[in-house]
Amino acid sequence: MRYALLTLAVAVSWVMGLPTGVLADEPLPGADVQSLLVLAKANNPELAAMRFESQAAAERVLPANALPDPKLRTEWMDVTRAGSQGPTLWPNDVGSTRYTLMQDLPWFGKRGLKKGIAEQEAQASVGKVQATWVELAAKVTTLYAQRYFLYQSQKISHELLDLTTRLEQIAQVRYASGMAAQQDVIRAQVEQTNLQMELVALANESAQADVRLNALLARPPNASLAAPERLRSLPPAAQRDVLVLAQRLNQNNPQLVTEEARIQSARLSRDLSFKNRYPDVTLAVSPTQVQNATTEWGVMLEFNIPLQQASRRAQEREAQAMLLAAQSRREAVANQVLSDLSEAVVGMESALRTQQLVTDSLLPQAELTFQSALAGYENGKLDFDTLQEAQRQVRQARQSQLKAQWEAHVRLAEIEKLVGEAL
């Protein structure tokens, strides 16, 4: 009984996403993006559904190349023996029994074309699986970057809250000694309240990001995630060149792979429609049994007559139009993904330049300004408004640095989705 209760408690805690003693030894996912991608690939139900559909498409190749099942026909002749007996189906007691074994044979090349069409459809389904995966990976990577941005923003807000508390204490000391107005203390307290409200908003956004990420990982909505520790290293500049990326895109983009397979399938379908001008054939062998002996053999050749040529020409024109449509669709997709790639590369480079400017210039300047303003306020040379403005500049610079870093990784996720592989 005690073991059953323990098992039930573990199961309930797993469903509810609560930590247990059994799970405590397992590290929580989320510390880095790679652990999340592994979970997503293993657990995401949409990706699993696409894999099963691809498997089903692959299994259609063999039947497409197979001959139709043969048919066996049995005919009982003179079942009453010219009225001398009651009706019977026993072969020895009827006048004769004819057995006909028939096999339908498609015209030369039709089976190969049907197999080729099935193979291209299977290849298109593989492209859909890859497209689903890169889309899922981009979502996971983007959410991880968002979680990192929110986590670091919370750290900045906590540091600024501690700093504002220190400024309040300085203002109180100066107010007590008659060197500052009471409004300085109040302004510092208002700033603390604003930072606390910002922390509440950041915590809410973090919780929502965790819920969305858990949904992609097929985990309970409130399942715990580890704090994001670091972002991935960005690829070197040579790998970020738009011409290099465009070449990789043309080779690996899942949408282009799918559209190319559809073009090949449409071309084979057109060729198959041309083959329908020729008849299919049926061969048959017919032994005839009289009482206990087989007395004669017959051979049959049957073929359909492709008489409805107007209908077949319409089918051929339809197949040709479908081929042209597939080619145009592939061109449209190529233009769109190349445009998206160029936009993502420009956005990434802009974010990296912004991050470098903030890191190298804006942030050090803002910190120096704040330190100077703090020393001036303590010496009574500057007012509290100037000090607060200097503090806000530091805050804005750090947030701009973090936002640029986040934007660069979001753009990187978009580029990898378009290229079809990790950089």
Residue 382 sits at φ, ψ, to 5 deg, of -125, 155
Q: What is the mean pLDDT of the segment spanning 27-49?
A: 89
Q: What is the mean pLDDT of the segment spanning 224-235?
A: 86
> Given pLDDT bands bounded at 50, 70 and 90, which one contains residue 15?
very low
CA atoms of 75 and 286, how far apart (whole Å)? 10
205 touches 150 (CB < 8 A): yes
> Given pLDDT bands bounded at 50, 70 and 90, which one contains residue 182?
confident
User: Among 18, 12, 9, which Cα is nearest to 222's?
Assistant: 18
Q: Which are the contacts of 349, defined by CB distance < 8 A and separation ≥ 6?
A: 240
CA distances from 35 to 30, 70, 137, 283 (A): 6, 54, 12, 61
> Residue 23 above 50 pLDDT?
no
For residue 404, tell me if it sits in a domain. Answer: yes
254 touches 128 (CB < 8 A): yes
Q: What is the mean pLDDT of the segment spanning 344-364?
A: 90
For residue 273, tell me if it sits in a domain. Answer: yes
Q: What is the mean pLDDT of the segment spanning 254-266?
A: 92
For residue 269, tell me if it sits in a domain. Answer: yes
The two most distant CA atoms of the chain are separated, in Å, by: 137
> Residue 104 above 80 pLDDT?
yes
Angle between helices 110-176 and 254-275 (to 10 degrees): 160
- Dump pLDDT digits (tens) for 52-75: 999 999 999 999 999 989 999 998
Half-sphere exposure of residue 216: CA atoms within 13 angstroms, side-chain side = 26
Mean predicted lDDT score pLDDT of the chain? 84
pLDDT computed for residue 17 by the predictor? 44
For residue 2, tell me if it sits in a domain. Answer: no
406 touches 149 (CB < 8 A): yes
> Given pLDDT bands bounded at 50, 70 and 90, which one contains residue 181?
low
| C-alpha Rg value of the chain to the nearest Å | 37
> Residue 3 above 60 pLDDT?
no
CATH number of the domain bearing residue 32:
1.20.1600.10
Q: What is the mean pLDDT of the segment spanning 109-128?
A: 91
Q: What is the mean pLDDT of the segment spanning 238-261?
A: 89
For residue 99, tell me if it sits in a domain. Answer: no
> Residue 239 above 90 pLDDT?
no
CA atoms of 258 and 127, how far apart (whole Å)? 5
CA atoms of 110 and 269, how far apart (whole Å)? 10
Which position has the higher pLDDT, 423 or 99? 99
> Given pLDDT bands bounded at 50, 70 and 90, which one contains residue 27?
confident
For residue 6, tell me if it sits in a domain. Answer: no
Domain extent, residue 140, equals 25-67+106-419
* Bridge partners of residue 73, in order along the sequence: 100
For residue 186, tell me if it sits in a domain. Answer: yes
For residue 7, tell me if it sits in a domain. Answer: no
Task: Tell me how many domains the chain contains.
Answer: 1
pLDDT computed for residue 80 by the predictor? 82
